[in-house]
Chain A
Amino acid sequence: MYRKDGVDYFVVDGHIHFWDASEENTANKYGEGFIRCFYDYQRNLSPQEWVWSLEKFRKYTEQDLVHDLFETGYVDWGIFQPTYLNEFYRSGFNTTEANGRLARKYPDRLIANGSFDPREGEAGLERLRQLAAEWNLRGVKLYTAEWRGSSKGWKLSDPEAQDYLALCEELGIRNIHVHKGPTIWPLDRDAFDVADVDHAATAFPGLNFVVEHSGLPRLEDFCWIATQEPNVYAGLSVVMPFIHSRPRYFAQVIGELLYWLDEDRIVFGSDYAIWSPKWLIEKFVDFQIPEDLQGEYGTLTTHAKRKILGLNHARLYDLKVPESAQVPSAARVGA
Chain B
Amino acid sequence: MTAVTDAVDRVTAVNAALAAVLDPELDRPITDLGFVRAVSVGADGAVEARLRLPTYFCAPNFAWLMVEDARRALAGLTWAGRCTVVLEDHFASDEINQGVDCGKSFAETFPGLADAGRLEELRAVFLRKGHLAAQAGLGRRLLERGWTIRQLAEARLGDLPERLTVTLRRRRTALGLPADATAPLFTDDHGHAVPAVGLERHLRRGRTAAVGIGTNTELCEGLLATRYGSGHRREKAS
Contacts and interface: CB of A to CB of B under 8 A. Distances in A.
B65 to A, nearest CB: 10
Contacts of B115: 152, 188
Contact of A188 (B61, B207, B213): B61
B213 A37 contact: no
Contacts of A256: 207-208, 211
A30 interface: yes
B129 A216 contact: no
Interface residues of B, number: 44
Nearest to A149: B112
Contact of A252 (B107, B119, B215, B216): B215
Contacts of A40: 54-55, 223, 226-227
Contacts, number: 118
B216 A216 contact: yes
Contact of B114 (A188, A216, A219): A188
Interface in A161-198: 182-191
B110 A186 contact: yes
B176 interface: no
Query: SS class of chain A's interface: helix, strand, loop or mixed?
Result: helix
A252 B58 CA distance: 24
A242 B55 contact: no
Interface stretch (A41-49, A115-123, A200-208, A265-273): A41-49
Contacts of A36: 56
Interface residues of A, number: 43
B137 interface: no
B208 A182 contact: no
A186 B113 contact: yes
B91 A30 contact: yes
B60 A187 contact: yes
Nearest to B109: A186
B57 to A, nearest CB: 5
A252 to B, nearest CB: 5
Contacts of A215: 212
Given A187-B113, A188-B119, A253-B215, A37 B56 contact: yes
A43 B206 CA distance: 31
Nearest to A35: B56
Given A37-B56, A183-B59, A224-B205, A188 B106 contact: yes
A29 B91 contact: yes
Contact of B95 (A41, A183, A186, A217): A186
Given A186-B60, A187-B61, A252-B214, A152 B208 contact: no
Contacts of B225: 44
A216 B95 contact: no
Nearest to A239: B215
Contacts of B215: 216-217, 219, 239, 242, 246, 249, 252-253
A66 B95 CA distance: 43
Contact of B208 (A150, A184, A219): A219
Interface in B177-207: 204-207
A33 B57 contact: yes
A69 to B, nearest CB: 24
Interface of B: 25, 54-61, 91-92, 95, 106-107, 110, 112-115, 118-119, 122, 125, 129, 132, 204-209, 211-216, 218-219, 222-223, 225-227
10 contacts: A152-B114, A183-B59, A188-B113, A219-B208, A220-B132, A223-B208, A238-B219, A242-B219, A252-B214, A256-B207
Interface of A: 29-30, 33-34, 36-37, 40-41, 43-45, 147, 150, 152, 182-191, 215-220, 223-224, 238-239, 242, 245-246, 249, 252-253, 256, 259-260
